[in-house]
Structure 1
Amino acid sequence: MTGITGLGNLTQTNTMMNHTMQVEETNRFNALVKAAKSSSSADTNGTVSSEQISIRDTRLNGEFTSDYSGTFKSEADKTAKASGFAANSVRSQGKTIDKTSKLYEKSLELESFFVKMMVDSMRKTVTKANQSENSFAQKMYEDMLYDEYTTALTKNSGFGIADSIYLELSR
Structure 2
Amino acid sequence: MNEYIDQISGYFETVPLWPFVLFGLLGIVAIMVDIVNRKRRALAVDNFRYTFEKELADMYPEHKRWPKNINNYLTSRLPEMYQNFEVLRVFIPQDHLREYNIDWNNFRDFCREITDEKIAAAEQGATENNQSAQQESDPKEVFQKLISKLLKHTEL
Q: If each structure's helix is expressed as a fraction of its own residues, which one has the higher value?
A: 2
Structure 1 length-normalised TM: 0.29
For CA contacts below 8 A with separation 6 or more, give which structure has more relative contact order.
1
Give the TM-score normalised by the residue count of structure 2. 0.31
For the pair shown, which has the larger CA radius of gyration, 1 or 2? 2
